Amino acid sequence: MGAAPIIENKAMTTDHEHSDRPLSDIEIRVKALESLLIDKGYVHPDTLERLIQTYEHEVGPHHGARVVARAWTDESFAEHLRADATAAVASMGYSGRQGEHLVAVENTPGQHNLVVCTLCSCYPWPVLGLPPAWYKSSAFRSQAVIRPREVLRTFGLNLPESTQVRVWDSTAEIRYLVIPMRPEGTQGWSLEALAGLVNRDSMIGTAVVSR
Amino acid sequence: MNSIHDMGGMDGFGPMVMEADEPCFHNEWERRAFAITLAMGATKQWNLDQARAARESLPMLCYLQAGYYGIWIEALESMLKERGLLRAEANAGSLGLKVLAPEAVRDALLKGAPTEREGSVKPQFKPGDAVRVRVMNPKSHTRCPRYLRGKQGIVDRYHGLHVYPDSHALTGEENPQALYTVLFTGHDLWGADGSADQVSADLWETYLDASPIQS
């Protein structure tokens, strides 16, 4: 097969729904299946819209960013997060599907944490939303457990040898949220300003937070 | 099953491709595929482990080429067919199927499907114990990845009793078992060729034996 990327990136084509080109095979298949399931009464069309709306516009990494910012500024919340992340996160209103059992893992100068699911693409939906394409890619799933430093370098992250890299493979229903280190020079910042610094990748472990 | 989904440690999938400002869905069909898969899951005609097993059972090339939501659609179609749900005479009324109502979506998502169970089963291991992952190669669904089988590790955390995916996929039986986070050194997994200092995975007690080499 050579070194060419596997065709997974086919999902990266742009949205052509409004163009007049003919529908592709997968588009026809999904449309037909959806109509059939609605006709049979198995799924309600408004339910489908609500599911899409929830993950496209409501749930996302802004949830996780608020959890991180609060952990940085509120030691009792940070303690709660360490002891029972599911309950701590639920106290902020985030819970449920693909985040039923949460664990927060804190980065320190001595340890950097990276999350992967080698067997599928398990990801903490209530705090990060749906995973990006690279997280679901075979390249990331295969390499993160064996060559994490090289993977991190492709994200522009060069960790010193003195920082240990720990990889968390999400093989069960435990979902991991990385708590990145708080950047220097942010004392006295508001919760919202701090949350604004925290990007999605820093909560998976492929980035750090900087000012 | 030892199929291509179990890819931890493999080489040859090409470079990582990152996309700036990536949208949640790239195409309308992905939105629809996502929504019909979740809505059908809510009818409880299969459980999550059975859905995973169906995805892992796809032919290798199909799995690699279909893309994430393509895999979901392939597996959804196969589960619908296997259960006779696409037959002409089948419909929600005649089957007494419980359908997810639009107004129930929010609560269903906030509740999720926790897998921890109460039970009197005592965990055999505790944090700090040295364990060895069993050598096993079941043809059916398992969440014990190949790259860990036969390897030595240390129990890092105990998570309580959780639905056991191997039986849950095969027969629907929950059979809750102790679940642990087990920590391995990169060197024990990959020799001198890896760059991970530590790798952990969440493993059920049935996947583990007490290690003959105590730390």
SS3 A34: helix
Interface touch B34/A100, C-beta < 8 Å: no
Token pair for B162: 């959780």
Find the catalytic residue in A122, A137, A170, A202.
Answer: A122
The arithmetic mean of pLDDT across residues A4-28, rounded, is: 63
CB B141 within 8 A of CB B52: yes
- The yes-or-no answer on residue A91 being catalytic is no
The verdict on A40 touching B (C-beta cutoff 8 Å) is: yes
The reply to whether A117 belongs to the active site is yes
For range A135-158, the mean pLDDT = 98
Q: Which of B1, B36, B86, B158 to mutate to test the interface with A (most CBs of A within 10 A)?
A: B36
The pLDDT value given to residue B199? 98
pLDDT in tens, A68-87: 999 999 999 999 999 999 99
Which pLDDT belongs to residue B110? Answer: 97
C-alpha span between B9 and A51 (Å, rounded): 34
Tell me if chain B has a CB within 8 Å of the CB of A21. no
User: Are A169 and B55 in contact (CB < 8 Å)?
Assistant: no
Contact B5, A118 (CB under 8 A): no
Query: Nearest to residue B160, comparing CAs of B129, B181, B132?
Result: B181
Residues in chain A closer than 8 A to B188 (CB atoms): none
Reply yes or no on whether the pLDDT at B213 is more than 80.
Answer: no
pLDDT in tens, A41-67: 999 999 999 999 999 999 999 999 999
Give the pLDDT confidence score for residue A12 in this predicted structure: 44
User: What is the band of A136 on the pLDDT scale with cuts at 50, 70, 90?
Assistant: very high
Q: Among A43, A80, A164, which Cα is nearest to B185's?
A: A164
Res A20: pLDDT: 75
φ, ψ of residue A4 in degrees (nearest 5)? -65, 140
pLDDT one-digit tens code per residue, B176-198: 999 999 999 999 999 999 999 99
> What pLDDT is stored for residue B215 in this prediction?
56
Size of interface A-B (CB pairs under 8 A): 290
- Catalytic, A137? Answer no
pLDDT, mean of residues A131-152: 98
| ipTM of the modeled complex | 0.97
Task: Measure in Å the smallest separation between the Cα of A188 and chain B Cα atoms.
Answer: 29
**How many CB atoms neighbour CB B135 within 10 A?**
9
Over the stretch A157-194, which tens digit does the pLDDT of each residue have?
A: 999 999 999 999 999 999 999 999 999 999 999 999 99
pLDDT tens for residues B80-101?
Answer: 999 999 999 999 999 999 999 9
Q: Note the pLDDT tens digit of each residue in B109-155.
A: 999 999 999 999 999 999 999 999 999 999 999 999 999 999 999 99
| Closest by Cβ to B28, choosing from A15, A166, A168 | A15
Query: In this predicted structure, what is the pLDDT of residue A19?
Result: 64
Choose among A14, A133, A145: nearest Cβ to B147.
Answer: A145
pLDDT at A1: 35
Catalytic residue among A35, A120, A190, A210: A120
Q: Cα distance from A119 to chain B (closest Cα, Å)?
A: 5
Among chain A residues, CA nearest to B110: A96
Residue B7 CA to residue A143 CA, distance in Å, equals 9
| Residue B102 predicted with pLDDT over 80 | yes
Nearest CA to A70 among A192, A206, A202, A209?
Answer: A192
Q: Which of A11, A17, A166 sits opposite B69 (nearest CB)?
A: A11
pLDDT at residue A18, as a whole number: 57
Assigned token pair, A200: 């999605």
Please report, in angstroms and rounded to a whole number, the separation of the first and last CA atoms in chain A: 42
Which residue of chain A comes nearest to B35, CA vs CA? A48
SS3 A160: coil
Question: What are residue A165's phi and psi, to 5 degrees?
Answer: -105, 120
Residues of A in contact with B198 (CB under 8 A): 164-167
Tell me, rounded to whole angstroms, the distance of Cα A16 from its chain centroid. 26
Asked if A24 is an active-site residue, the reply is no
pLDDT at position A6, please? 42
Residue A4 confidence (pLDDT) above 50: no
Contact B8 A168 (CB under 8 A): no
Question: How far does B31 lie from chain A, in Å, by closest CA?
Answer: 6
Section A75-100 average pLDDT: 98
Q: Tell me the per-residue pLDDT of B30-65, one tens digit each, with 9 for 90 and over.
A: 999 999 999 999 999 999 999 999 999 999 999 999
A17 pLDDT more than 70:
no
Distance CA A84, CA A81 (A): 5
The sign of the dihedral angle between the CA atoms of A25, A117, B152, A164 is positive
Residue with tokens 């608020």: A66
Among candidate residues A111, A80, A98, the one with its CA nearest the CA of residue A170: A98
Residues of A in contact with B203 (CB under 8 A): 171-172
